[in-house]
Chains A and B, each alone.
Chain A
Amino acid sequence: MSKIHVTTKVNGDEVEYLCEPRETLLDCLRDHLDLTGAKEGCGTGDCGACSVTMDGRLVCSCLVLGAEAQGKEIATIEGMAEDGALHPLQRKFIEHAALQCGICTPGILVAAKSLLEKNPDPTETEMRYWLAGNLCRCTGYDKIIRAVMDAAAEMREAS
């Protein structure tokens, strides 16, 4: 079996790995790069727990092949806090108790960040539809939506 050599950028760092053609980007992040922040909740693109961005676009990393990351820029939850400071979304999630078990949290944070980059002032409905691909079984979404709204407001004020 011949493996594929992949060079890519993850959270700003140049990295390389060898992967099987069948391995997903999620497998590669978790098993070859030890970045276990993205989770596998389903492996079929239905839960969003594996959300990362590839060249700025929100993707389910379980639906991307590891080989496809060649030459791309990947951003994961591990890169969200910068210089030891949490991103406003991360702070607001803690402040609003927007996580219970926390397994969905990395994916939801990555997805919410990507929403606010496109639309800094989303309505509650826009937020709910954007996050409809990220399942949370614990919270009923109420506190998640509140945390995202609060973070968005803070980020708008700061900019």
Chain B
Amino acid sequence: MALDGPKQDFKYIGTRPERPDGWDKVTGKARFGADFSMPGMLHGAILRSPHAHAKIIKIDATKALALKGVKAVVTRADFPEGLEGEDWNIQENVMAGEKALYDGHAVAAVAATSQLIARDALKLIEVEYEVLPHVTDVDKAMAEDAPVIREGAADYSVPEGMHPNVVRYMESGRGDLEKGFAEADLVIEESFTTEAAHQGYIEPHACVANLGADGKGDLWCCTQGHWFVRQMCTAVLGLEATQLRVTPSEIGGGFGGKTTVFIDPVALALSRKAGRPVKLVMSRSEVLRATGPTASASMDIKMGMTKEGKITAASGTFRMQGGAFPGAPVDVTTMLAFANYDIEHVHHVGYDVMTNRPKQAAYRAPGAPMGAFATESVLDELCRGLGLDPIETRLKNAVKEGTPATFGPKFPPVGLIETLEEARAHPNYSVKLGPNQGRGVASGYWMNWGGETSASVAIGDDGSVQVSIGTVDIGGSRASMALMAAEAFGIPYENVRVSIADTGSLGINEPTHGSRATFASGLAIIEASREATRKLCQRAADKWGIDADAVTWEDGCAKPSGPNAGEFDPLTIAEIAAEMGSTGGPISGHHESTPDGFGGSFGTHVVDVEVDPETGRTTILRYLVVQDAGKAIHPAYVEGQFQGGAVQGIGWTLNEEYIYGEDGRLQNPIFLDYRVPVASDLPMIDTVIVEVPNPGHPYGVRGVGETGITPPLPAIANAVRDAIGVRMKKLPLTPPRVLAAIKARD
């Protein structure tokens, strides 16, 4: 695609207009997943395994089916056989086959005339289990005597002799580690662990399914990506892709966790069997027990540094469990663990391990925060050991355009140095700290994503513009899309209406994930708008009887240009639109591509904490996020991404964890016990937007959503280290753990 380099002078981009869907969302009118219903609709409920690992001997639904109001029961027998690969994994995850693989694994489902009846019916389904030994810890799952989750799940990459629970193995690097470590004045080697955290979207998964015996169906659901839902549901149920139309509702948060399916195929199967629409809504404890949290990790890091602060070598071993299926994002962890720095000698080893836990799902920068926690902690220790400033040291090693990345290719223009310089210059970095207080710094990276994208624009008969995109609006992206269309057409922001098209109305779009929506849908809108303005220029040229090349589009008008174009009054978009029908018909523009010019985004965070020496409780005193947005289309929503990412990171670092009992059951499946940050835990989150334009986007956009969750884990751990003088190597930093560390120190 020919791009003439990012545009620099903007009329609308960079302003902060009100979001187009604001009114709906503050009045309660916006319809989210559970707000949809249909005439004749039944309600579904899912029976889940109470065991972490058990053979399913028999399921008897006779009594449930006899209950008044129960219309259908489905089990795995209602799904087609013979699936392979990830299709099989998803099918097995949404409805257990021979074994229940984790506490909360679905084993049967009911559709009834009310939700209460459906839930009552679950209690009447008799399941006979043979309980098997289980394992939920990544290191224990790799041990010789660990129970095997599933034989034959490992792929070709796993060397012989490893436990069958190791399902993928990876190794990468360059240079000569021994040489590199020999050049160092200080070498530090440490081990770290992080616990699984849940995305914690406030809206539980919800859908309404309507599938006929003819194989044609409709599905309404809250999802980050309705084409993904279509692909997964049709694969799991053996349907033809385009026979299922998926319409996304407004979405109440996702953070990666709604890029896959958990209940949708079950609702479709119930609907097919009952011959009526079925609504399925998860409870919070179902969300925590049976949807995908992120992976947990166990890591060994070794890094060397000269006394001037140059990193000479780095190596890391990363073991991650992603539940009872392959797919822990350890590939990304290894790729990004040392990606901030220019390191000659570097080596990574990664293990993807299965345990009796729910199938992990993406969570904001999946895989990156764990690795960063370990590597940025060791870097901090090196700085301390050598008496170096953490920002100066990072500047000395920071990657820039042309640096060969630790994962291979050379970096295009990136903004790490700029974020470090802004962080150093920010007043927060020089606030004087008091007793029991500490400051931490860390940087992080997300490479961002392009993905399959398709968008259309259509001119209304009054010259207003309809934009149809396939990426759902999860954080105000309609506003950025409308801004980009307004900019491309040169018309007021208010004259653009952005709709999210269903799968029957547009070509395939990947989800709103990977920080791709503003980048990729934005790019598609700009290109589609350019196609439309070319057509608008053609109509003006025809009217004026001149060549289309002699017409340009400027400020929402076609204008004659060039010395020989002639003298004509500009034609506004409204004037051309009013005559569309008689001058050649409707005018629209379309663009589809898989753009690969997504520029990665670096961020640097600075945090001050105070640790209560009596309780071990850590309080965040001030927090600064500096991150490269390339070009902030709507700066308020960019800041929002920075703040939200930072606070999720704060939760992961200080409170949030999956706690499994000896019995392999999740001990904290409600928000009271799985404690996400609340308003009174936090200060304001300060932000600085750095703009190093991305040459791969017409306006210079970089995705901003993911990077922000990566630096908080190490930044806070570094601040706690500064405050208490002890390096914490196990997340989360709960008060009892920090208190124990303080006691051990004294």
Contacts and interface: CB of A to CB of B under 8 A. Distances in A.
Interface string B239-252: 00000000000111
A137 B648 contact: yes
B253 A46 contact: no
B179 interface: no
A20 interface: yes
Chain A residues touching B, majority SS: loop
B544 interface: no
A127 B35 CA distance: 29
Most buried by A among B27, B475, B681: B27
B18 A95 contact: yes
Contact of B643 (A78, A80, A131, A143): A143
Most buried by A among B250, B641, B684: B684
B648 A142 contact: no
B676 interface: yes
Interface string B191-208: 000000001111110000
A140 B644 contact: yes
B646 interface: yes
Contacts of B677: 140-141
Given A97-B19, A129-B680, A140-B647, A39 B284 contact: no
A35 B35 CA distance: 9
A135 B202 contact: yes
B269 to A, nearest CB: 24
A78 B203 contact: no
Interface in A94-109: 94-97, 99-106, 109
Contact of A140 (B19, B27, B281, B646): B646
Contacts of A141: 647, 677, 679, 682
Contacts of A146: 684
Most buried by B among A35, A36, A102, A106: A102
Contacts of B26: 81, 86, 90, 93-94, 99, 102, 105-106, 109
B182 interface: no
A40 B283 CA distance: 9
B283 A39 contact: no
A139 B476 CA distance: 11
Contact of A86 (B27, B284, B636, B672): B27
Nearest to A134: B679
Contacts, number: 185
B685 A97 contact: no
Contacts of A106: 26, 28
Contacts of A42: 284, 670-671
A23 B117 CA distance: 12
A36 B19 contact: no
A103 B203 CA distance: 7
A96 to B, nearest CB: 7
B22 interface: yes
Given A36-B28, A42-B670, A128 B682 contact: yes
Contacts of A109: 26
Contacts of B254: 101
Interface string B619-657: 000000000000000101101110110111000000000
A145 B684 contact: yes
Contacts of B22: 93-94, 99
A25 interface: no
A137 B670 contact: no
B671 A39 contact: no
A41 to B, nearest CB: 4
B255 interface: yes
A103 B284 CA distance: 14
Contacts of A152: none
Most buried by B among A127, A128, A131, A142: A142
A18 interface: no
B29 A37 contact: yes
A73 to B, nearest CB: 18
B682 A137 contact: no
Interface in A126-157: 127-129, 131-146
A76 B679 contact: no
Given A37-B27, A131-B680, 12 more contacts: A20-B114, A30-B35, A38-B28, A39-B202, A43-B283, A97-B637, A97-B639, A128-B680, A132-B681, A136-B202, A137-B253, A139-B644
Interface of B: 16, 18-19, 21-23, 25-32, 34-35, 114, 116, 199-204, 250-255, 281, 283-284, 474-476, 634, 636-637, 639-641, 643-644, 646-648, 670-672, 676-682, 684-685
5 contacts: A43-B283, A100-B253, A100-B644, A134-B678, A137-B199
What 9 pairs between A and B have smallest CB-CB spacing?
A: A37-B28, A103-B252, A140-B647, A102-B25, A94-B22, A46-B671, A140-B643, A97-B636, A77-B28
Interface of A: 20, 22-23, 30, 35-44, 46-47, 49, 76-78, 80-81, 86, 90, 93-97, 99-106, 109, 125, 127-129, 131-146
